[in-house]
A and B are shown apart, each in its own frame.
Chain A
Amino acid sequence: MKLPDSAQVLALIGPSGGGKSTFLRLIGGIETPTSGTVIVDDQELPKEEEGLLDYRKSNGFLFQAFNLFPHLSALDNIILPLTEVHGWSRHKAEERAHEVVKRFYLEKHLEKHPEQLSGGQQQRVALARAVAHEPALLLLDEPTSALDPEMKAGVLDLIKELCDAGQRIVLSTHEMGFARQSADHVVFLAEGKILEEGKAEELFEASREPKVTQFLDRVMKW
């Protein structure tokens, strides 16, 4: 798959089990392909753990749920990767952590532990953690699927802010409206294959694949 050079935000849509998560994890270096190679930014991803570990450090990843470590406060969850993975000094890490916390409207929740936070707040903390070290690529695996509508909006707002600020993002989502508004390029995945890809308006308005139009009709019905 080749993206146009100007593409900054890539959205992956399609039915559950279609391969969106796997695709994201392959790009993120969290899983290795059983055959073939993964090439990101003209660089082939290493197959052994050591090389992959280095690659993973340069990205940010957000899962659907259970991102945070329950035994640490929200602030410590954000600081941990900065000091232990990226080798920042404690002082610098704290400074940066407070910055992102402010940006994500989480000041009141700094010292709380994850189980004291709502789902939406947890995802925002996880998002803060993912972007704190200014990742080259931010990968989001259905980040709002486990949230109720109000919390969804809060998290999507923040993701949109990141898009507008220039963050390169690959987002897998069922939020068609959001995908349409924020993505430069959209890919439709089903049964492990790319059925269609293109600019957002093209895919949503004038898709050439019957399976895609069928899916979109069903999803956008209510």
Chain B
Amino acid sequence: MKSFINALVSVILAVTFFFGFWVILDHDYDWAAIAPYSGNLFSGWLVTVGISLAALALSVVVAAVLTVAQLSSHRVPRVLSRAYVEIVRGTPLLTQILIGYYLIADAIGWDSRFGVGLVILSCFSGAYLSEIFRGGIESISKSQWLSARAIGLSEGQTYRFVVIPQAIRRVLPASAGQFANLIKDSSLLFVISVHEFTMQAREANANSFATFEAYLPLVMGYFILTFPISLLSRHLEKRFSYEH
């Protein structure tokens, strides 16, 4: 039975790859049509890199606040942060972008597409990141707490010297993965016309009708950003699992 499934999977993968390659290779390429937009595409890529880095930093802040709130001994921050995380993780990013820009930002009168997009993306990713952080902290065994207690460390000191140093090592691989997700999620910001990579590719396509020539570089452009992160995440996983 197992060898049958192996064979079946191999056949399916092979067929998919061949089909993919045939589609890519058999196309009549018209790179000249897309050439005038190459500058825009590149600047769009740079904007994606910029907004991803900024959102990374901001989402870590959001995640830290949410994690502290969820671990709090007071009920109010715990319930509020839990509700926030559940709602953000339970709804599509697309809907959050639309509501965030057309309802909320509009209501407070903030019309910077880049700024609003950055904040929405950070609030979104921060929720996912806080679950990763919280999991890391809660995975530190109770015996560590007991040991810290016995030698006279206060709760704050225990977090600072015992729990967080260990938790950071544990959450790094998953956090790297979430950063890769962030980069890909940023592509949705085109719906509010942030001049990032996907938006530029769509415009180039609309003007030149060179669909393939616009979207192939788009895919590759994201991949060269996320692949190194994937490698880094694997490397971190190996490195820290060896230590503990």
Contacts and interface: CB of A to CB of B under 8 A. Distances in A.
Given A71-B166, A71-B169, A80-B161, A66 B151 contact: no
A53 B152 contact: yes
B153 to A, nearest CB: 6
Given A84-B153, A84-B157, A68 B147 contact: yes
Interface in A88-144: 113, 115, 129-130
A115 B244 contact: yes
Given A84-B157, A84-B161, A56 B149 contact: yes
A63 interface: yes
Contacts of A130: 151
B3 interface: no
A67 B152 contact: no
Q: Is the interface of B mostly helix, strand, loop or mixed?
A: helix
Contact of B146 (A57, A63, A115): A63
Given A53-B154, A115-B244, A69 B149 contact: no
Interface string B180-201: 0000000000000000000000
Interface of A: 28, 30, 53, 56-57, 61, 63, 65-71, 80-81, 84-86, 113, 115, 129-130
Contacts of B162: 69
Interface in B132-180: 141, 143-144, 146-154, 157, 161-162, 165-166, 169
A30 B146 contact: yes
A115 B242 CA distance: 10
Nearest to A129: B151
B109 to A, nearest CB: 47
A81 B141 contact: no
A28 B152 CA distance: 11
Contacts of A67: 147, 150
Contact of A69 (B144, B154, B169): B144
Interface in B102-117: none
Given A56-B149, A69-B161, 11 more contacts: A28-B150, A30-B149, A56-B150, A63-B150, A65-B143, A67-B147, A68-B147, A71-B165, A80-B161, A81-B153, A85-B157
Nearest to B142: A66
Nearest to A69: B162
Contacts of A65: 143
Contact of B152 (A56, A69, A71): A56
A115 B141 CA distance: 16
A61 B151 contact: yes
Nearest to A132: B151
Shortest Cβ-Cβ A-B pairs, 4 listed: A57-B152, A61-B150, A66-B143, A85-B152
A81 B147 contact: no
Nearest to A57: B152
A63, A68, A81, A86, most chain B CB atoms within 10 A:
A81
B152 to A, nearest CB: 4
Contact of B151 (A70, A71, A81, A115): A81
A187 B104 CA distance: 69
A70 B146 contact: no
A121 to B, nearest CB: 17
Contacts of A28: 150
Contacts of A30: 146, 149-150
B180 to A, nearest CB: 26
Contacts of B146: 30, 63
